[in-house]
Amino acid sequence: MNSKLQILEKLNHQYFWDIDFSESDDASSSRLIIERVYSLGEIHEMNQVIQFYGEKHVIDVLSSLPYMDSKTLTFISKLFNKPLKEFRCYKRKQSKSQHWI
């Protein structure tokens, strides 16, 4: 992993409207960066994140997120060829009772 803001400079700053770049660095903000890029970003930005952090780290972070919208979850599952049940947010969604069924 590289350090201080090298990946953030390459990404769309609109994804990180609430972050003070002077107080952030790529290593400590990896979860936030990966989450935002995979939720809001384009495929070339996703590839940049993989090149920067490594595929294993990206998959580990995405698998441990407590929430992800259904469309993004399905896309990531197909992209990394990983079953939905291996994602924390999918397990969490399945464990909640549905009131209107």
Instruction: Read off the pLDDT of residues 88-99 as tens digits, 9 standing for 90 and up.
Output: 888 766 555 555
Instruction: Read off the pLDDT of residues 69-84 as tens digits, 9 standing for 90 and up.
Output: 989 999 999 999 999 9
The pTM for the full model equals: 0.80
Sequence-separated (6 or more) residues with CB below 8 Å from residue 38: 46, 49, 62, 72, 76
Residue 1 has pLDDT above 50, yes or no: no
Q: Count CB neighbours of 65 within 10 A.
A: 19
Residue 10, pLDDT score:
87
42/14 Cα distance (integer angstroms): 13
Virtual torsion, Cα 86, 95, 98, 40, nearest 10 deg: -40
Instruction: Read off the pLDDT of residues 56-67 as tens digits, 9 standing for 90 and up.
Output: 999 999 999 999
